[in-house]
Structure 1
Amino acid sequence: MTLEWMAWTLPTAVFFITIVVILTAMTVWQVISPCVVRRGLLPIATTRGDRLFIGLLGSAYIHLAWIGLTDYTLWIATGIALVWMLAVMRWA
């Protein structure tokens, strides 16, 4: 019986390290400056953590749709996802 291990490429490692850094920064930010619930771009009341989760989830869907529907480079989807993430974090 052989075990199959996930192939940790540099982009995969950078992705997960970035998520850990973002979560750590958000935790420190919450401890230093507790957030208030607000309404903005999204029609629901959200906290910083909610907006981060919605932004990350939306970014994942943008990438999946891009991969499934186009043959263009993934860097364009990354740019769109960054704009989405910034919009959600700033105005949502």
Structure 2
Amino acid sequence: WWSLWLFIGLFILTLGGELIANDKPLVLSFKNELYFPVFKRYTEQQFGGQLPFQADYRSDYVQKLIEQDGGWMLFPPIPFSDDTPNYELTRPA
């Protein structure tokens, strides 16, 4: 029985995986409004950008767009997703 309870506990823990490791902010403030990108997709245009695609919150351009009006972003403890590219590599992985 203890293995079943261990499995159930680990399964419940994985349900909150998006809140532990994600490349999108949990909460962001832009022009005195709160947004929740971890639950809903927002385009770069909604933050004053030019592209009609999902915002890349780790890019310097999007961060400046949000912070120029006093906005802020709260990222999860691990600010990377399973498919987040690392643009700072000096050689191929």
TM class by smaller structure = under 0.3
TM-score of the pair, normalised by structure 2:
0.24
Considering fraction of residues, name the structure with more strand: 2
TM-score of the pair, normalised by structure 1:
0.24
**Could you say which structure has the greater relative contact order, defined with CA pairs below 8 angstroms and 6 or more residues apart?**
2
